[in-house]
Amino acid sequence: MPKEITRLRKLGHLRISRISSFEAVKESLGGLTSLEQIRTMRIDSDGVVIAELGKLKKLRDLSLTHFRRKYRLTLCCSINEMHFLEKLRIGARDTNEVIDLSDVSLHPTLKKLCLSGKLEKFPNWIPKLQNLVKLSLELSFLTSDPLKSLKDMPNLLCLYISHHAYEGESLHFEDGGFQKLKELRLQNLQHLNFISIHREALLCLERLELSELPKLKEVPSGILQLEKLGVVHIFNLPIHIMGFFNYGNPKRWIISRANPYRMF
């Protein structure tokens, strides 16, 4: 990467994987003051670039990988300077690295959030994001049901809980919860036994994915009351649950069995 890239004051979008060995670039990345998007940038072990991110006041879309907990305060401070941030994705370095963003200020502009990494507990600031429309949790290894915290979010439209994001045995969609949710993905949750959908929950749900849930014992209770549900994706479920959707489908949903990674 040429160091002269930092002179491009009007550059708006940057897609980058690693900037190791480019010290001149890392230490002056904050000079690209017109940047609105950084996609899939790997955080180097020295963490130099994290502080530079705080100088990018116009960032709307930020995607970082290889997050390390020791840099959490610096990253939180940098994110707090991004007053126009709409999309944020943070991926941990490995499954043992905890994503701790407890010092992040509430961003009224944030609309999409993806956390891919271990969470010691469910972040209490997420339910306060009033304009969040999409939330994705991966590899979180949560043991307490996150739905209790999320059920009253006013504008949440898409919720993806996948790839060991939740290690508990049951998920409960409580009465009146998730009033605007349209898309729900529950994927690769190895310990999930039961899903219950209480009355007046998920009233606007249109698309549902249930995939790679090997221990699911029953068809989600209350699923037949979802009047707006039109598309159901099923993949790698116990045979009796697959049979319900294949042969005992009184709602005449559109049933999809495509690769789950292509859904939604």
Dump pLDDT digits (tens) for 169-185.
999 999 999 999 999 99
In the chain, which residue ranges form alpha helices assigned H by DSSP?
23-26, 48-53, 72-80, 147-150, 239-247
For residues 223 and 32, the model is more confident at 223
In tens, the pLDDT along 95-145 reads 999 999 988 887 889 999 999 999 998 999 999 999 999 999 999 999 999
C-alpha to C-alpha distance for 196 and 201, rounded to whole angstroms = 10
Instruction: Give CATH for domain 14-262.
Output: 3.80.10.10
Question: Where do we find the tokens 């929950």?
Answer: 201
What 8-state DSSP symbol labels residue 149? H
Cα 86–Cα 91–Cα 92 angle in degrees, nearest 5: 145
C-alpha to C-alpha distance for 182 and 205, rounded to whole angstroms = 4
Question: pTM for this one?
Answer: 0.90
C-alpha to C-alpha distance for 210 and 213, rounded to whole angstroms = 7
What 8-state DSSP symbol labels residue 163? S
Residues 6+ apart with CB under 8 A from 46: none
In tens, the pLDDT along 9-39 reads 788 877 776 655 455 566 677 888 888 988 8
Tokens representing 65 are: 């990988």
Domain assignments of the chain as residue spans, ordered by start: 14-262
